[in-house]
Each structure stands twice: as C-alpha cells, then as structure tokens.
Amino acid sequence: MNKTFSENIKPAGIYVHIPFCKIRCTYCDFYTLTNETRIDAFVESLCKEIELRKDEIKEPVKTVYFGGGTPSRLSEHHFNKIFDSLYQNFKIEPTSEITVEANPDDLSDEYVEMLARLPVNRLSIGIQSFDDNELKFLSRRHSAIQAINAVKRCQMNGFSNISIDLMYGLPNQTTKIWEQNLKQATSLGIQHLSAYHLIYEEKTRMYSMLKAGKIEPVVEEVSTAMFSMLIDWMKSHNFIHYEISAFGKEGYFSRHNTSYWKGNKYIGLGPAAHSFDGENRTWNVASLNRYIKGVEEGKPEQNSENLSSDEKYNEFILTGLRTMWGVDLNELKILFGEKIYIYCIENADKYLNRQLLTIEGNNLKLTREGIFISDGIMSDLMRV
C-alpha cells in the first residue's frame, strides 16, 4: 500500500512574506508595494493571521524565513511583535534556523545591531552584483562598496551564517565581470551563495525593455559559460553545490529551502505567501487590502489546489533532481507505486546512457553535464 504525503511529513517551516520595498527593481515580479505607509497595519494583521492559523502547524518548527519584498524595511518594534506572536502560537525549536532577507543599504550599524538582538541567526543579503553599472541597471538601491561594508558589518556583529544573492546572464554582462563578482563574493568569508540567471518575467520593466528592443539577452553560450564558471569557482572555494542555484559551505546549507525541496510541510504568512500541508497547496491573496480585510473578518482570503497523484509525482521529480541528493527511488516507489517507478526509470534511461543522469545507491541524480540541461531532463521525466 502506498504511503500518503502526509504520512511522509517531517518537521515544519514557517515563511513570512513582508510585502514592502523602498523601490521596485527592474526585473522583479514578486508581490511587493513601494508605498510603505501601511506597514503598521500589515504587522497587526500578520499577528492576527498567526493566531488564526496556529492550528495548521502542530509539529515542531525547525525553520523560520522572513522573505519578501524587503524584510529589512521592518523596525525592531515590528519584528518584536511578530516574534512574540510566532513564539506564542507555534512550537519553534530553540535550535531553529531563523533567516531574514535584507537589502545592503538597510544594514546600517544601528540596524545590524538591532537584528543581532533578535532571535535571527541567518541573514540572506540581496546584493545581486558587485558592479555599480549593473546595480544601476537593475535599479538596486545600493552600491558595490555599500554591499561589501554591509556584509562586514553583519560579521562584526556576530552573524556567522550569511548568504548573499547574485545574478548573472544580464544584458551586456561579460564573463570577466561575472568572474569579478564571484571573486568578490568568496573574498568576503560568506557561508552561502544563491546565484540566479536573469529571467525576463512578464509585467516587469526589464521585460518591457526587452520587448522594445532596448536590451538584448545574453547568448546561450555566454549563459552556459557563466554557469560553468560559477560551479567551478564555488567548488574551488569549498562551497558545495547542493541545489541548482545554491552553494553552501559544509553545515551551512539553507535548512529552510532544503526542507521545501524535501517536500516538508510549511505555512506561509502574509499576502501572496504559499503554504503546503503535505496534500494541498494554499496561497494567500496577493493584495494587501484584501489580505487585511480577510484577516480582520477572521477568514484570511486564500486559494487552494489539491494536487493530483501525477502532480505530486512531478513535484517529487522537480524538487528532488534540483538537489545534490537527487530523487530517492525507494521513496518514489513507496509513494507512487511500481508503475510510476518504472515510468521514471524508462524515461531516465536515455539520459543515464548519455551520463547526464546517474544512479548512486538508490538515488537518481543529475551529473555535472546534466545540470546544464536540467529543465529538459526534468520535463521528460514528468507525467503530462
């Protein structure tokens, strides 16, 4: 008999979406507002939502992640209110990983000292580039030197688990500039790097510029060369490539994201935040007004979908293959049955023969060559 996803559930995580940014970056399609006048009202509603949804997570919570938007737009007063509410309503373990995303120009001496007084033990700093021209092009608020100083300030204030985000594949970006970015990143003594190729999301300014012919995307060979450079550079600096976009020093992988990729349960709080209970996906309305109204009325506005067995299998493949642990074929067989297991192996066969996939122990994994065409491999293994 197949186990259900719920029976397979491990410890839970909490995601808190802070939907405010000082300005909008040209490439960003996240739900966020540049009008910050309603931060206080949002925090009030967030604390009420926590109270209303406390019964959704009874398991011990091992990770809390403040994402956005820009969580570093919150004051100490806001954070204290939110933490009080989280600790009162959920079983957050003392050893939990608690991450706050921050923008470099918010990380003044006073702000970092304030963060150090909170239960926060991991920072994820949205640097994106150490090249001032690129930062300007992306409409980031900080300069390269501000980013460097922000990381150093966090380290001086005792933060010893710091991740930074970088972007590559920007129009006009050369492999030389990308190499400089990587060199600067690893010289800072950080523990983790997330590196994302630029994606032209519809409804962004970057997309409009592309459509108007004002910018040209990098050619595929340059993208591939940059990704290859990224993998080699990080490996030579003792970072483990544990997920397609993520590199961590031993013991410093993002526990929160790893938990997502392993299919664990999580609750998403705040507008546009997604939750997963092992069977269903729900997501809060992507509108601050409607979010506040729903919470005030005692019924947060949400949509949900019940995943079909094929959709669960597809997610299992997608999330598993993204990571260095790969897809656990034993678990796949237990969760989805012999027929789906055979479907997976048969579709993997041509990639196994070309050494783009490999089986180590009972795990199906991408090889280094396979990572470069991971999208195609994943879609071939998925059920339509």
Binding residues for ligand SF4, rule CB under 6 A, total: 11
* 68 touches ligand SF4 (CB under 6 A): yes
Within 10 angstroms of residue 330's Cβ, the number of other Cβ atoms is: 11
Q: Which stretch binds ligand SF4 (CB under 6 A): 66-74, 114-122, 180-188, 359-367?
A: 66-74
Shortest Cβ 167–ligand SF4 spacing (Å): 10
When binding is defined by CB under 6 A, the residue of 24, 152, 153, 290 that contacts ligand SF4 is: 24
Shortest Cβ 3–ligand SF4 spacing (Å): 37
When binding is defined by CB under 6 A, the residue of 17, 18, 32, 247 that contacts ligand SF4 is: 32
* 30 touches ligand SF4 (CB under 6 A): yes
Shortest Cβ 12–ligand SF4 spacing (Å): 25
Q: Which stretch binds ligand SF4 (CB under 6 A): 25-33, 228-236, 243-251, 374-382?
A: 25-33
Footprint on residues 285-344 left by ligand SF4 (CB under 6 A): none
Footprint on residues 102-161 left by ligand SF4 (CB under 6 A): 103, 126
Q: Which stretch binds ligand SF4 (CB under 6 A): 24-32, 203-211, 281-289, 336-344?
A: 24-32
Shortest Cβ 143–ligand SF4 spacing (Å): 15
When binding is defined by CB under 6 A, the residue of 11, 13, 69, 294 that contacts ligand SF4 is: 69
Nearest CB to ligand SF4, comparing residues 25 and 364: 25
* 267 touches ligand SF4 (CB under 6 A): no
Residue with tokens 């300014």: 205
Q: Which stretch binds ligand SF4 (CB under 6 A): 26-34, 255-263, 306-314, 334-342?
A: 26-34
Nearest CB to ligand SF4, comparing residues 5 and 65: 65
Nearest CB to ligand SF4, comparing residues 124 and 264: 124
Nearest CB to ligand SF4, comparing residues 18 and 317: 18
Per residue, the 3-state secondary structure of the chain, as one string, reads CCCCCHHHCCCEEEEEEECECCCCCCCCCCCCECCCCCHHHHHHHHHHHHHHCHHHCCCCEEEEEEEECCHHHCCHHHHHHHHHHHHHHCCEEEEEEEEEEECHHHCCHHHHHHHHHCCCCEEEEEEECCCHHHHHHCCCCCCHHHHHHHHHHHHHCCCCCEEEEEEECCCCCCHHHHHHHHHHHHHCCCCEEEEEECCCCCCCHHHHHHHCCCCCCCCHHHHHHHHHHHHHHHHHCCCEEEECCEEECCCCCCHHHHHHHCCCCEEEECCCCEEECCCEEEEECCCHHHHHHHHHCCCCCEEEEECCHHHHHHHHHHHHHHECCCEEHHHHHHHHCHHHHHHHHHHHHHHHHCCCEEEECCEEEECHHHHCCHHHHHHHHCCC
Q: Which stretch binds ligand SF4 (CB under 6 A): 21-29, 154-162, 294-302, 355-363?
A: 21-29
What's CA 277's distance to the chain center, in Å? 18
Shortest Cβ 103–ligand SF4 spacing (Å): 6
Separation CA 21–CA 31 (nearest Å): 10
When binding is defined by CB under 6 A, the residue of 28, 286, 352, 378 that contacts ligand SF4 is: 28
* 25 touches ligand SF4 (CB under 6 A): yes
CA dihedral (328, 329, 335, 338) in degrees, to 10, reads 180
Separation CA 335–CA 329 (nearest Å): 10
Please give the residue whose beta carbon sits closest to ligand SF4 in the complex.
Answer: 28
Residues in contact with ligand SF4 by CB under 6 A are: 21, 24-25, 28, 30, 32, 68-70, 103, 126
